[in-house]
Amino acid sequence: MQWLPEFALTESERQSIGSHNAVELVGRAANSVYKSQKTQSRGEIGEILLHVIVRQVFGSLPAISKYYYKDSANDTVKGFDAVHVVADEDNLELWLGEVKFYKNISGAISDVIAEIKEHTEDDYLRSEFTAITNKIDDAWPHADTLRNLIRRNRSLDEIFTAICIPVLLTYDSGVVGGFEAVCEEYERRFEEEVRSHYETFAGKDLPKKLRVHLALLPMKSKDALVAEFDRRLKACQIIT
């Protein structure tokens, strides 16, 4: 919940947060996620988790807030599930995320492979780049560099050298659900489970031109996480 403002607000709004408007902007961020009562089919939690993982592990910066531009709070946002950059002094990498917030790991792997292939087709990418360009906040420090990287007359072969696809797959884990405390047996079985799913994913027919980072999130219960997230989200929504 602490990441909601960064996840859902524009750069200009994030820069404006202060003691006079913090509550209002947290409420605005919460209201932009969803207001539906049909929470089990919502995937926004997975997108927030991917946002946090890429930010904390790889030091990325969110490039755009797609949620700011939703026409309705209950709309689902199409396209990539995260648009971040990882920048150093000389280069800018574009990180285009994919999430499957599922209970079942087999279905998550199968569906995300199909989506990666679809989303990296030339026509789809050009369309997505146009949508990204239209949503870049001028206050964001890398705005001009990113616009230049994905401009229409730049070769896709050149752009692909600067693209990374972070993938987050969640699933209800028999190991996580089968232990009450961390012990040697738990650690051994946990590692075996995660490595097995990684090998399954890595063995799929991914497009060769892509660099992919896989994050696996085994859960005790997706349903329990959704229920608690929904409770806290709705609490934030009513503070303004």
Angstrom distance (rounded) from CA 95 to CA 82: 7
CA distances, 138 to each of 15, 22, 92, 110, 189 (Å): 12, 22, 17, 38, 48
Number of structural domains found in the chain: 1
* Residue ranges making up the domain that contains 209: 45-222
Helix ranges (DSSP H) in 59-183: 105-119, 122-135, 143-149, 156-160, 174-178
**Helices 105-119 and 184-202 meet at what angle, rounded to 10?**
40
Residue 105 falls inside a structural domain: yes
Instruction: Give one word for 59, left, alpha or beta, with left for phi > 0 and alpha for psi -120 to 50.
Output: left
Residue 34 falls inside a structural domain: no
Residue 30 falls inside a structural domain: no
Residue 227 falls inside a structural domain: no
pLDDT in tens, the chain (240 residues): 889 999 988 889 888 999 899 999 889 889 888 877 666 667 889 999 999 999 999 999 999 987 665 555 555 667 899 999 998 877 899 999 999 999 999 999 999 999 999 999 999 999 999 999 999 999 999 999 999 999 999 999 999 899 999 999 999 999 999 999 999 999 999 999 999 999 999 999 988 888 999 999 999 999 999 999 999 999 988 886
pTM greater than 0.85 (yes/no)? yes
